[in-house]
């Protein structure tokens, strides 16, 4: 007889969505001119593995992203670049408007 218990796979994605230990950063985004651009950038960011939430503001040209701190932010930039826009990475330690 076998004593194996059925193994349930943990859902890493839903865990990340509720993880309180997320990085929360704002990035300048260049190249957006309309609401559809905003959607494209949000989808690009939201599709990156490790991103829990991304919201983009057209007026301020900024993206606010909640993500796993283990995620390399250059991955975010690459995803936005593929969508046709530019995510500007903040300089470390600098927090000026
Ligand atoms: Mo509408 Mo935004 O064509 O580039 S998506 S201006």
Q: What are the average pLDDT values for consecutive 10-residue runs of the chain, which has 97 residues?
A: 48 53 95 98 98 98 96 97 94 51
Say what the pLDDT of residue 10 is.
47
**Per-residue model confidence (pLDDT) at position 62:** 97
Q: Is 58 in the pocket of ligand 1 (CB under 6 A)?
A: no
The pLDDT value given to residue 91: 62
pLDDT given at position 24: 94
CA of 55 to the centre of ligand 1 (A): 17
Q: Are 22 and 67 in contact (CB under 8 A)?
A: yes
**Cα of 55 vs its chain's centroid, Å:** 9
Query: CB neighbours of 53 closer than 8 A, spacing ≥ 6?
Result: 17, 46, 65, 66
The pLDDT value recorded for residue 2 is: 54
Residue to substitute in 33, 38, 56, 86 for testing ligand 1 pocket (most ligand atoms within 8 angstroms of CB): 33
**Ligand 1 mean position, distance from CA 83 (Å):** 12
**pTM of the predicted protein model:** 0.75
């Amino acid at each position: 007889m076998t004593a194996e218990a059925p193994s349930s796979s943990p859902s890493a994605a839903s865990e990340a969505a509720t993880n309180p230990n997320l990085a929360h950063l704002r990035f300048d985004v260049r190249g957006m001119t309309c609401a559809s651009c905003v959607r494209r950038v949000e989808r690009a960011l939201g599709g990156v593995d490790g991103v829990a939430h991304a919201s983009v503001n057209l007026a301020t040209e900024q993206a606010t992203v909640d993500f796993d701190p283990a995620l390399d932010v250059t991955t975010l930039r690459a995803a936005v670049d593929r969508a046709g826009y530019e995510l500007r990475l903040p300089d470390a330690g600098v927090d000026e408007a």
